[in-house]
Structures are given as C-alpha cells and as structure tokens.
Amino acid sequence: QVQLQESGPGLVKPSQTLSLTCTVSGGSITANSYYLSWIRQPPGKGRQWMGAIGYTDNTYYSPSLKSRISISRDTSKNQFTLQLTSVTPEDTAVYYCAGARTNVPAWGQGYWGQGTQVTVSS
C-alpha cells in the first residue's frame, strides 16, 4: 500500500521560503511513471493545484506561482520537495502531496498525503 506523508514547518514568517517534503512509502512512485504534485487548500477556499514534476524531471507549475515555486525529487530517498519563496499570509493553507498518472490529479486520484497545515505569520 503506497502512502505519502508531508513534513515541514507549520509556521513560516512572511518573506521567507516555505519548504515541504513528501516521503513515499510502500512503493517507488518517485522513480516510476508517476507525476508528483503539490496541491493546497487555503482556509475557506477550494483546492489549488500548485505544480508537479514528471518522471522525466519535467516540471509543470501554476502560472500564478511560477515565479516563486520549485519542485524537485530524490528517487534514492523516495521523496519529493516543494519550495515556495517570498511567502505572504495568503500562502496559509493545508498543503497536500500526491502521486498520480496525471500531472493535475483530481481529489482522490492516485495517492495522496493527509495534508499538513502551514501558516504564514510573523
């Protein structure tokens, strides 16, 4: 059973860089033909696809985040990471990682982590 788990700081100060790691267990989807994605859900709003990295290391980013986002993967550790620079309180959200056969997975499509709360505040 493939499982994904997000990890990282729950509180980030404005203007800093948010870094999250997704650790995959029970299967090596980071090295197979899966897209590894990050999705977030701000309070009171819908889920927002942020970006993905493909199995050939191609990256796909939301146009609204493209200047601030970076997604990478480490197949030796079965992990992939999200970095979001210059954060503001509007980046406060529950952040999810997902692995699926598409770079824009629907909710529940493929494998999803439980989500981790990140708050941007001084």
Q: Read off the pLDDT of residues 73-88 as tens digits, 9 standing for 90 and up.
A: 998 899 999 999 999 9
Residue 31 confidence (pLDDT): 66
Residue partners of 16: CB distance under 8 A and separation at least 6: 87
Residue 8 confidence (pLDDT): 96
The four Cα atoms 69, 120, 7, 79 give a dihedral, to 10 degrees, of: 0
Question: Span 98-113, mean pLDDT?
Answer: 92
Residue 7 clears pLDDT 90, i.e. is over it: yes
Partners of 83 in beta bridges: 19, 70
Distances (CA, A) of 67 to 46, 54, 95, 101: 22, 19, 19, 25
Residue 63 confidence (pLDDT): 97
Q: Which band of pLDDT confidence, cut at 50, 70 and 90, is reported for residue 30? A: low
What three-state secondary structure class fits 106?
coil
Measured at the CA of 53, the angle between CA 105 and CA 87, to 5 degrees, comes to: 90
Partners of 97 in beta bridges: 38
Residue 19 confidence (pLDDT): 98
